[in-house]
Amino acid sequence: MILTETYTEENQLVASLIKKDKAAFEYLYDNYKAALFGIISRMIQPDEAAEDVLQDVFIKVYHNIEKFDATKGKLYTWLLNVTRNYCIDKIRSSDIKNQNKNRSIDDLVPVINNQLFTGISVDHIGLRKLVNSLVPEQREIIERMYFEGYTQTEVAEVMNIPLGTVKTRARAAILKLRTLFDTP
């Protein structure tokens, strides 16, 4: 995340958020809305429902920003996790689950949106290529865990593979994603 002059350090931004500073929350919204909405709309459809969820998530962040621990990880990671966990809880406790049940594995292929998150300085075409270069089994594991909140045991059952294979495939997939940041 590249921060503008307003918040040269993430902890400055966080400090302002904790003070319930409006400008800080506007900054937060403007910079992270696309990333968070992308995750949500991947998990919850239609888009109107996804927007309701983004609103819920943002209100959650507003109330719980004090719980963010900068020593543990970056704000972006925290926001992604708050979002994912909220969606997973929602999916598991509602009918949305049933609507999503009939999706085939092909549907799990991420929809690449042109409105890429602007804060990140990576080649967009390279990104797309990379995500598409994940083999289907790797992608399914990541999607099941990341977007559907499956545990390793659940993934092993659904895909009918041993637990050890779940681990190694998850690792192989993320290693591939990591090369995004290794290439200049």
Partner 1 sequence: MNTNEYIASGVLELYALGALSSLEMKEVEANLLLYPELQEELDQILLGLEAYATVHAKEPSPALKDKIFSKLSFEENNQKQEAPKIKAQISEPEVKIIPLQPRYLTAVRWLSAACIALLFTSGFLLFQNSTYKSTINDLASQLETKDKEYADLKVKFTSSEHLLAEVQKPETHKILLNSKTGKADEMAVIFMNVKTVDVMVYTNQLASLPANEQYQLWALVDGKPMDMGVFDSNDSLQSTKKFPELMQAQAFAITIEQKGGSPTPTLEKMVVFGAI
Window 115 to 154, contacts with partner 1 (CB under 8 A):
115-117, 120, 122, 127-128, 130-131, 142, 145-146, 149-152
Q: Is residue 87 within the footprint of partner 1 (CB under 8 A)?
A: no
CB of 92 to partner 1, least distance (A): 12
Block residue for tokens 């003070």: 19
Q: Is residue 155 within the footprint of partner 1 (CB under 8 A)?
A: yes
Q: How far apart are CA 180 and CA 184, in angstroms?
A: 9
Among 3, 25, 108, 109, binds partner 1 (CB under 8 A): 25
Q: Which is nearer to partner 1, 100 or 152 (CB)?
A: 152
CB of 173 to partner 1, least distance (A): 8
Q: Judge contact between 28 and 61, C-beta under 8 A.
A: yes
Spatial CB neighbours of 84, under 8 Å, sequence gap ≥ 6 = 39, 43, 146, 147, 149
Q: Phi-psi bin for 149: left (phi > 0), alpha (psi -120 to 50), beta?
A: left
Q: Judge contact between 80 and 39, C-beta under 8 A.
A: yes
Q: Judge contact between 86 and 43, C-beta under 8 A.
A: no
CB of 26 to partner 1, least distance (A): 7
Residue 182: HSE in the Cβ half-sphere, 13 Å Cα cutoff: 7
CB of 95 to partner 1, least distance (A): 21
Q: Is residue 11 within the footprint of partner 1 (CB under 8 A)?
A: no
Among 4, 12, 29, 133, binds partner 1 (CB under 8 A): 29
Q: Is residue 92 within the footprint of partner 1 (CB under 8 A)?
A: no
Q: Is residue 168 within the footprint of partner 1 (CB under 8 A)?
A: yes
Which 34-73 positions form the footprint of partner 1 (CB under 8 A)?
34-35, 37-39, 41-42, 47, 50-51, 54-56, 58-64, 67, 69, 71-73
Q: What are the tokens at 161?
A: 């593979």
Please tell me whether residue 106 adopts helix, strand or coil conformation.
helix
